[in-house]
Amino acid sequence: MSINGKDLSIDEFEEEFQNFLHVFNEQFDTPENQQAITQAAINSFAEDPNSELGLDAHIEHIYQTERTNNLVKAAIAYFLDIH
């Protein structure tokens, strides 16, 4: 398999991905980002306090959505070498 112009075995790809994921997690899970996600959830919950989702569920939903979107975007950019 060729990634970033390198021919990698499956094991090498797995190692490269784990390294990428470790760096991504450190950059995503910052106190500032957690605060921004929490504030976005509070704002969303305030707009619809009668929602079936409680505040904790709003926080989890926004966290998971943001993390997934950012992870996919960063992985594509990294492995296509456009970062």
Q: What confidence tens digit (pLDDT) does each residue in 26-83 have?
A: 999 999 999 999 999 999 889 988 888 889 999 999 999 999 999 999 998 888 876 5
The answer to whether the predicted template modeling score (pTM) of the entire model surpasses 0.85 is: no
The pLDDT assigned to 52 comes to: 85
Residue 61, classified by CB atoms within 10 Å of its CB into exposed (0-12), middle (13-18) or buried (19+), is middle
DSSP 51: S
Integer distance in angstroms from the first to the last C-alpha of the chain?
20
Q: In this structure, are residues 83 and 74 in contact, taking their beta carbons and an 8 Å threshold?
A: yes
Residue type at position 73: K
pLDDT of residue 74: 94
Residue 7 has pLDDT above 80, yes or no: no
